[in-house]
Structure 1
Amino acid sequence: MAQTRGRGRPRGGTDSRSRILAAAVEAFGETGYEGATIRGIAERAGVDPALVHHYFGAKADLFAEAADVPLRPDVVVPLILAGPRAEVGERIVRYVLEAFADDGVRRRGVMLLRTAVGGRAGSPLIVGFLARELLPRVAGRLEVPDARLRADLVASQIAGLLMIRYVLRVQPIADAPIDELVARVGPTIQRYLFD
């Protein structure tokens, strides 16, 4: 005799929410925003789709929570720019690549990059993060008339490096040691900022 589900809150274990979030990061990272579905995410997490809606609401809300990359530009940018000026470009590249060495940061970062390229929903999150959090902090500390353009050039270079290394996995950049990439890309970042 089949049981019918009663009314009320969908049932899930105590770790259902975290499993759903982990499944969402994987799904958005693999297929982008447009390709991921609530049903597919629920299947990955081993839960009913209603439980996904219960915890996160709509797909856009789930994406916004999954995209919470634990990088703190408000803390890091002042430290990077406070050191010797001649090494700022290298410090920026090193910070980003070392942050992406962490599995959690990398998974969420790749998810954001894939979604920004493949769908509309991720773009406002990335653009908003860059426009509100990162670029004004960099540009505000540069004492040059075209600081915002310089900061935008830095962001484009870093985003391109991350896309090639972690999303497209183009060799030899994908497997190059961080020190080598810092030495090669850092001077370009330095030039964008100060030359």
Structure 2
Amino acid sequence: MSNYAGALPDDSSAPRRRGRRPGGGDTRAALLDAARTVFAERGYDGATVRVIADRAGVDPAMVNHWFGGKEPLFVAALDLPADPGMILGEALPGDPEQLAERIIARILRVWDETGGAQLATLLQSIASHEVAASLLREFIGRVLVGKVLSKVAPDRPELRASLAGSQMFGLAFVRYVLKVEPLASADHATIIAAVAPNLQRYLTGPLP
């Protein structure tokens, strides 16, 4: 997990970009570009709405107008096919020992509904762009540790988040980027039966 908070001096009072303020879709695009840079530099906690808006040259109110707040903006900056926090939040209720099955069932449904193309683009970007990699590290830290493992893990939530992330994104990479058979065309029930026990151990089981 990245830890950029406090790494840079506070530029909340820095002058905004001069010139004509972007409008409509231009404002949204400018906020996304600024958010990716600021989140990568400062981490989620250090990236304030005001700093992101200043970097984009727009009023901070535009963050709420276009995205509804900092967390939705962070998810939009990741460019995932669905809000992973919502998916994992939906999977949490129920027997903790079947949590992995519920998580994999939901993410497979979302990934397959979008054809996996958007996810594949993200995964390919991670390998070559540090900003994308930094955003994904923040995602693993905030969503997996903060929203899931803080509730179910018996110990070492950061390690468990790293292991769970390797399982889920490894599955995504092999199925949607490399398209290795028979995994690429396997039905959901087969994948869940094969992968869920290992993911469950990462989430709640004993670790060496």
| TM-score, normalising length: structure 2 | 0.59
Query: Which residue number in structure 2 is paired with residue 29 of structure 1?
Result: none
Deviation at 1:143, TM superposition (A): 4.4
Query: Which residue number in structure 1 is paired with residue 42 of structure 2?
Result: none
Match of residue 125, structure 1, among 131, 135, 146:
135
Change (3 A) 1:62 1:70: farther
1:101 aligns with 2:73: no
1:164 aligns with 2:174: yes
Change (3 A) 1:108 1:140: same
- Aligned pairs for 1:46-125 within 5 A: 56=29, 61=33, 67-103=78-114, 106-125=116-135
The answer to whether the 8 Å contact 1:112/1:126 transfers is no
Where do 5+ consecutive residues of structure 1 fail to align?
A: 1-8, 10-16, 18-52
2:158 and 2:121 map into 1 onto residues whose CA distance is 26
2:140 and 2:201 map into 1 onto residues whose CA distance is 20
Deviation at 1:150, TM superposition (A): 1.5
- Aligned pairs for 1:10-25 within 5 A: none
Query: Which has the bigger relative contact order, CA under 8 A and spacing at least 6?
Result: 1
Change (3 A) 1:55 1:182: closer
Deviation at 1:68, TM superposition (A): 2.5
Deviation at 1:74, TM superposition (A): 3.4
1:72 and 1:178 map into 2 onto residues whose CA distance is 20
Deviation at 1:176, TM superposition (A): 0.8
Change (3 A) 1:167 1:134: same
Change (3 A) 1:134 1:190: closer
Where do 5+ consecutive residues of structure 2 fail to align?
A: 1-19, 37-75
The answer to whether the 8 Å contact 2:153/2:204 transfers is no
Match of residue 181, structure 1, among 191, 195, 202:
191
Equivalent residues, number? 144
Give the secondary-structure state (helix, strand or coil) at the position aligned to 1:141: helix
2:156 and 2:201 map into 1 onto residues whose CA distance is 13
